Structure 1
Amino acid sequence: MAGAFIIIDYNDAEIRVFLEKLQEKLGDLTPVFRDLGESLLISHRERFNRGIGPDGAPWPALSPHTHKKKNQDKLLVLDGWLRQLNYQASGTELRLGTDRLYGATHQFGDPDRHIPARPFLGLDEGERAAILETLADWLAD
C-alpha cells in the first residue's frame, strides 16, 4: 500500500495483552487480523461516507477555489477511488488503508498546496471497543 494506511499493532496496552495471549494460543494471527480487517473496512467506509475523522470532527469544507467536474458536493470523492479501502493481514500485523498515492495528502494535509488534513484513517473509541470484543471472542473459542 503506497498511499496511506494505519497499522494496528501492539501500541495499546489492553489490545497488546489480548494479542499476546492469542499469539500463544494460535501462533499465526492472520485469521484474527482478517476478522478485524473486515470489521474496520465497514466502520471506516461508514465514517468516510459521513465525512468525519476518527476523532468525530467533520472534515474541513472545500475551499471556494476548488473546482471539481464531478461530485462537487462530496469531500474526498471525485471518482470514488479513495474510499475503496482495503487491508492486508499477516501473522504479525494488519494494515488498513488505500493504495492511492494522494491518500496521504488528504489524510495529513498539504500546507504548501493549501489542502487541509481530512483524516479518514484511524481508530475511534467504538472501533477500539469492537477490536477488544473481537479479540475476547477469539480467546473464548
Structure 2
Amino acid sequence: MTQIHVAELRIQDVVDVLSSVQSLAFLDKSVFNAIGEQLQVIHRKRYKQQIDPDGNAWTPLNAKYEAKKKEDANYQDILQYTGKMLDTLTHQATDYGVKFGSNAIQAASQHYGRDGIPSRKFIGINAADRAIIAEEIADAYEVWLAKQG
C-alpha cells in the first residue's frame, strides 16, 4: 500500500517548546496519539472549509469541470465528491513521534498537483496548529509531573 505522509511531528520538533523541561520521559505513544487525534480534528475542519494550512482557499475547479460536476445530482465541493479523500486522513503514533497523512494514491496528486490538477494543499501544520500541539504536550507534562511528586 502506498503511504503519503506530508505532515510529520517528531520529538525533535517539540524540543523547542519544552526547552525548560528536565525530562522528555513523559513523551510516549499516548501523547503522540493525542496529538494525532488533534491533527485529525484540525485537518477535517480545514478540509471542509476548503483551505490550506495557511488559510488560503483551494484553487477552484476549472469552469468546464465544475459545470460537468454540477450536472451530477451528487455534486459536492472540491475534493468532496465521494468523501473518500477525507476518510483517508490518518495518523500513526509511536513512542518517538506521530505521522499524519493519507494513504490514498490520489492524495499526492491533489496535495502537490499533477497533470492539469492544481495543487490543493490539505495536509500540513501552521503556527496555530503548533500552539494546539504545544498545549497537548504541556498538559501531558503536567500530568506526568504530578505523578512524579
Q: Larger Rg: 1 or 2?
A: 2
Alpha carbons 2:4, 2:107 under 8 Å: kept: yes
Alpha-carbon distance between aligned partners in 2 of 1:96 and 1:71, rounded to the nearest angstrom: 29
TM-score, normalising length from structure 2?
0.80
Alpha-carbon distance between aligned partners in 1 of 2:142 and 2:108, rounded to the nearest angstrom: 38
> Among the aligned pairs, what percent are the same residue?
28
**Distance change (3 Å), C-alpha of 1:18 and 1:7:** same
Give 3-state SS (helix, strand or coil) of 1:139's partner. helix
TM-score, normalising length from structure 1?
0.84
Structure 1 segments, 4+ long, off by >3 Å, are 17-24, 67-73
Q: Post-superposition shift, 1:29?
A: 1.6
Are 2:112 and 1:108 aligned? Answer: yes
Alpha-carbon distance between aligned partners in 2 of 1:130 and 1:94, rounded to the nearest angstrom: 15
Partner of 2:137: 135
Structure 1 segments unaligned to the other structure (5+ residues): none
Alpha carbons 2:3, 2:102 under 8 Å: kept: yes
**Distance change (3 Å), C-alpha of 1:121 and 1:95:** same
Alpha carbons 2:51, 2:58 under 8 Å: kept: yes
**One of 102, 111, 120 as aligned partner of 1:98:** 102
RMSD (Å) for aligned C-alpha atoms: 2.3
Alpha-carbon distance between aligned partners in 2 of 1:2 and 1:46, rounded to the nearest angstrom: 25
**Distance change (3 Å), C-alpha of 1:7 and 1:71:** farther
Structure 2 segments unaligned to the other structure (5+ residues): 144-149
